[in-house]
Structures are given as structure tokens and as C-alpha cells.
Amino acid sequence: MAHVLRSVDLTVERGEFIAIMGPSGCGKTTLLNVLGLMTTPTTAMSLVVDGVDCLKLSDPQRTRARRESIGFVFQRFNLLSTLSARRNIELGLRLRGMPVDGIVEDVISEVGLSEMAHRKPAHLSIGEQQRAAIARAVVCRPRLLLADEPTGNLDSENAAVVIDLFKHFHATWDMTIVMITHSRECARSADRVLMMRDGRIQ
């Protein structure tokens, strides 16, 4: 069986903002899913977070670690179409059994959606939808934010807004960010840029 990832040796420091670039099919999304405890590597090694090897955890423990510590942002936003932006953002807390409190309005305000949080995704612009998805990902204050081409569906203006939000949460909440991008412009905002090719980090 061909391996998607091969001898990846990666250390991410707490509070770092990393960008990952590389050609289509080189394994970026797969790597992000491993880091996000969504995919378990078949022949790994170790995946150590805060001193704990997550590959040695049971499935329920791994799910809990993911819910408590990790937020995800996707290229296609993945908002629930039947819920308003506010309800989508609240889900970031509800799914984790956390109370829905004032932080929801704070985050809605920080991403600039106060006037339109009552709207469903279909009635938001593409850029607004991605800002709602970012709010949903960060509302539980995850220590790690993983983003898979978060600006891939956006024009350059909206892409810049998304990157500014990442920089904001990175700076104010000391959030560690790993972002996949095909945009050199977006990658420039990261502390470090990693290049991937054929399942390896170069």
C-alpha cells in the first residue's frame, strides 16, 4: 500500500502560526487530519501534544482531547444551512457541552457579524460565511486552530480579512495555528512556512 505521509517529523511550538504549502495531492489535508486527531496513522510513530502521546489514547479519550483543544476551519465553511450564523457559532460550544454565554456575542462582534448573525448562511456573503465558520471554530477558545485552505474560496479582499482574524486570535488568545494554503500572500503572515511534497515535509 502506498503511503500518503512518509516520515513526517514536525514540531509545532505552542503559540506558533504555521503555514503549510505544497502541490495538490501531496498530503496536506491528510497531515492536518492527523494533527486534528481525525485520522489515525496506520504505521505511526507518535503524536505528542502537551507531553501526551495521542496515539496511545482510547477513541473516547481522543475525541475528548479533540473537542477540548482543537478548532477546525474548512475551505467550504461547512456551516449548517438550516441554522442562523449565531446558532452555528453556538454549536461550537454546545457540541463540547460548554455553556452558551456572553463569549458568543463577543466572538460574533470580533468577526464583524453583529448585524447579521440572525441570518442563515444562504443570506450571508461568502466572506461572511467564512467569518461565521471561524467564529464557530474559536468560540470554545481551542489551543490549536487547524485551517484547510480557509481562503481557497475567497477573493483577495476577503482572504485578507480571514488572515487578519487568524492573526488577531493568534495574538490575543495565544492560539496555535496550522493553516494549509496555496496562497503565498496568505502564507507570508505565518511565523513559519513548511513546504510539503510527496508526503514529506521538505
The span from the CA of 78 to the CA of 17, in Å, is 23
Residue 116 as a binder of ligand ATP (CB under 6 A): the answer is: no
Residue from 36, 31, 42, 37 nearest 9 by CA? 31
The span from the CA of 181 to the CA of 178, in Å, is 10
Q: Which is nearer to ligand ATP, 168 or 200 (CB)?
A: 200
Residue 129 as a binder of Mg ion (CB under 5 A): the answer is: no
Residue 24 as a binder of ligand ATP (CB under 6 A): the answer is: yes
Interacting span for ligand ATP (CB under 6 A) from 27-35, 48-56, 134-142, 165-173: 27-35
Grid coordinates given for 200: 514529506
Residue 25 as a binder of ligand ATP (CB under 6 A): the answer is: yes
CB of 79 to Mg ion, least distance (A): 19
Grid coordinates given for 154: 475567497
Residue from 168, 194, 200 nearest 179 by CA? 194
Residue 146 as a binder of ligand ATP (CB under 6 A): the answer is: no
Place of cell 444551512: 81
Residue 181 as a binder of ligand ATP (CB under 6 A): the answer is: no
Residues 174, 124 contacting (CB under 8 angstroms): no
CB of 186 to ligand ATP, least distance (A): 14
Instruction: Reduce the DSSP state of residue 27 to 3 states and report it.
Output: coil
CB of 53 to ligand ATP, least distance (A): 23
Which of 30, 151, 183, 189 touches ligand ATP by CB under 6 A?
Answer: 30
Find residue 71's DSSP bridge partners.
145
Residue 29 as a binder of Mg ion (CB under 5 A): the answer is: yes
Residue numbers of the site for ligand ATP (CB under 6 A)?
Answer: 4, 22, 24-30
